[in-house]
Amino acid sequence: AQKITQTQPGMFVQEKEAVTLDCTYDTSDPSYGLFWYKQPSSGEMIFLIYQGSYDQQNATEGRYSLNFQKARKSANLVISASQLGDSAMYFCAMREGNSGYALNFGKGTSLLVTP
């Protein structure tokens, strides 16, 4: 069964607008971590933001914030003030357990920022 679901294969957003990328997850482990990565067309996998299952507050990193709704098992990425350079594939991933475990990735959302 898919542990990470990203329901938006592709999205458009205009420059300077905010955009939300959806991610829902499935786990019975009380301890887990949620990550968002950005993959530009060049191929590298860039870490953006992390949310731990016990974190009380939503994570923020510059223009990125994570809307964490634990009861709904969702961890949506919000990008504020979109820039052309934000055009990329975005992956949501989950690590179950306390440490040293592999990441399960969603299928990704392709974001295109238009002028």
Q: Which residues bind another protein (CB under 8 A)?
A: 33, 35, 37, 43-47, 50, 52, 91, 95, 99-108
Angle (CA) 106-112-113 rounded to 5° is: 130
**Shortest CB 13 distance to another protein, Å:** 22
The tokens of 79 are what?
């990008």
Between CA 38 and CA 88 the distance in angstroms is: 6
**Shortest CB 41 distance to another protein, Å:** 12
CB closer to another protein out of 106 and 111: 106
Between CA 36 and CA 45 the distance in angstroms is: 10
CB closer to another protein out of 55 and 63: 55
